Chain A
Amino acid sequence: MALDIDRYAHTASPLQRWDPRVKIFSMGLLILSIALLKTIPMAVSALLLALVILGVSALPRHFLVHGLSFVLVFLIPFFLIMPFTYPGEAAFSILGLPFAWEGLRLASLIFLKALAIVMITFAIFGSSRFDISMLALQHLKCPKVVVQMLLFTYRYTFVFLDEMRRMHTSMRARGFVARTDLKTLRIFGHFIGTLLVRSFERTERVYKAMLSKGYQGELHLLVTFQSAGSDYIKAFVIISIAMIIMYGDLGGGLHTAEQGWY
């Protein structure tokens, strides 16, 4: 499971050189505009745009494919359910189920938009170190305590994941096999309880160590943000594209026969 989103943050690219504050802000606007699209042609262009952005980010392909495969699993049910359950006239039937093109269109729209957004999110957070991205969020007026908790949680995730794997290995070594019965569920409950207690006690030790080193609710990084002209040019390009996408979707000639959803 690829949890460390910033594994390839050292890969040099225009995205990586972009001031994270400006990057997160302008890409955020782009994502918002994509989320609200209602027409297939614009959603396809959004997906192509996301591909271009990923190309520019120069992140390794296997890393991206691995991350995106999870998203696909989430989205496939829409294709299986929506065409057959869309109210109204059915074009034809498959195995007695009415098939509606409109349902397929909706499912495709959701699929295209979701994929485009996830790809752009990958490009944003894959191209900066996680702690720097979080610091940038703090500069964008995200509450300090939320940023602190995100940083803590991110760090702990890897530690606890190792712990969980160790515990799972030892369970299997003692002959545990997961079945569909109450006993398995009870064991899972105890497993999670143990994990909680262990993690909790470890964190208490870490927290005391941090306090003794002068922790006062803030992480100090040797990073200063600097935005130059090129940062704002990139932001201008991205925000313009976001506006064009929104305009093409709302006012353009593509807005025919697209009612009935919202």
Chain B
Amino acid sequence: MHISEGILSAPALTVGFAGTAVLAAATMRNLDMEEVPKISVITAVFFITSLIKVPLGPASIHLILNGLVGVVLGWRAFPAIMLGIILQAIIFGHGGVTVIGINSLMLGGGGLIAYLVWQQRHRFAFKKREFVFGALAGALATISSGIVLAIALVTTGEAFHAIAATVLAAHLPIMLIEAAVVGACAEFLQKVKPDILAGQQAVKKAG
């Protein structure tokens, strides 16, 4: 889900860019040169997997997967998602160049929330832990993006209230699908290549 070009007012666009600049600066602190390729890989995968269509009854939806980026990259999810959005704006014209700020804030913020949720898994120990927390991270990332999108639309004007409600309602089925996919993916990565997941070091130290 993106906010399209030409809807938001200048103050909203400015808030988007300012917020993104602050969050990008905060989440890119002490960025090591060796992390650059890893972030780029995840961004590229995030970028192309957004092309995957999941059938939903007669229609189909595209995956968002910002929760998965949070699960894999941790705080660096924000710059990764921001880059994905810049590329989408340049290459597809999805979203648009003046809404790069607000879209990064929306989806990247969801990625950060996903990471916060994902980290809570250390407090628990049960068999399906990675699946459950991956699913929660995926779901919360999606719905928080939907909420930010709805807020941006509602503050734009009364004319957009109905669209905001529609958009928020549309995020509910997407949320369930994202939860299932991100959960399955997190469980898979835990089995196959656990060191690709974010926040794994803490586990080793603790136990």
When distances are taken between beta carbons in the complex, the residues of chain B under 8 Å from A184 are: 54-55
Cβ B47 vs Cβ A157 within 8 A: yes
User: Which residues of A come within 8 Å of B, CB atoms?
Assistant: 1, 3, 5, 28, 31-32, 34-37, 67-68, 70-71, 74-75, 78, 81-82, 84-87, 102-103, 106, 109-114, 117-118, 121-122, 125, 145-146, 148-150, 152-154, 156-157, 160-161, 164, 178-180, 182, 184-190, 192-197, 199-200, 203-204, 206-207, 216-217, 260-262
Taking the complex as formed, is B9 at the interface, i.e. its CB lies under 8 A from any CB of chain A? yes
Q: Which residues of A contact B79 (CB under 8 A)?
A: 146, 149
Shortest Cβ gap from B14 to chain A (Å)? 11
Which residue from A82, A154, A199 sits with its C-beta under 8 Å from B159? A82
Asked if A114 and B4 make an inter-chain contact with CB atoms under 8 angstroms apart, the answer reads: yes
Chain A positions within 8 Å of B186 at CB level: 189
Q: Residues on B close to A: CB < 8 A?
A: 2, 4-7, 9-10, 13, 28, 31, 33-34, 36-45, 47-49, 51-57, 63, 65, 68, 72, 79, 83-84, 86-87, 89-94, 96-98, 156-159, 161-163, 166, 177, 180-189, 192-193, 196
Pair A185/B40 contact, Cβ less than 8 Å: no
**Cβ-defined contact, A149 with B40, below 8 A:** yes
- The answer to whether A197 touches B90, judged by C-beta atoms less than 8 angstroms apart, is no
B37 touches A106 (CB 8 A): no
The verdict on A185 contacting B54 (CB below 8 Å), with A70-B92, A145-B36 known, is yes
**What is the CB-to-nearest-CB distance from B64 to chain A, in angstroms, rounded to a whole number?**
12
Among candidates A75, A102, A185, residue contacting B177 with C-beta atoms closer than 8 Å:
A185
Say whether A145 contacts B31, CB under 8 Å: yes
Pair B163/A85 contact, Cβ less than 8 Å? yes
Q: Could you say which residues of chain A place their CB within 8 Å of the CB of B40? A: 148-149, 152-153, 156, 203
Q: Are B4 and A110 in contact (CB under 8 A)?
A: yes
Q: State the main secondary structure of chain A at its contact with B.
A: helix
Nearest chain A CB to B84 CB, angstrom units: 8
Cα distance, A200 to B192, chains bound together (Å)? 13
16 contacts between A and B (CB under 8 A): A68-B93, A70-B94, A81-B162, A113-B5, A114-B96, A121-B96, A145-B36, A146-B79, A150-B83, A153-B84, A186-B184, A188-B63, A199-B41, A217-B33, A260-B157, A261-B159
Residue of B nearest to A5 (CB): B91
State whether B13 touches A195 (Cβ < 8 A): no
Contact A150 B188 (CB under 8 A): no
In the complex, the 5 A-B pairs of residues with the closest C-beta atoms, listed nearest first: A189-B184, A85-B162, A113-B6, A152-B40, A118-B93
User: Are B37 and A152 closer than 8 Å at their CB atoms?
Assistant: yes
Interface pair A121/B49, CB less than 8 Å apart: no
In the complex with contacts A178-B54, A197-B189, A74-B83 CB distance below 8 A: no
- Cα separation A150 to B49 with both chains bound (whole Å): 17
Residue pair A261, B83 in contact (C-beta under 8 Å): no
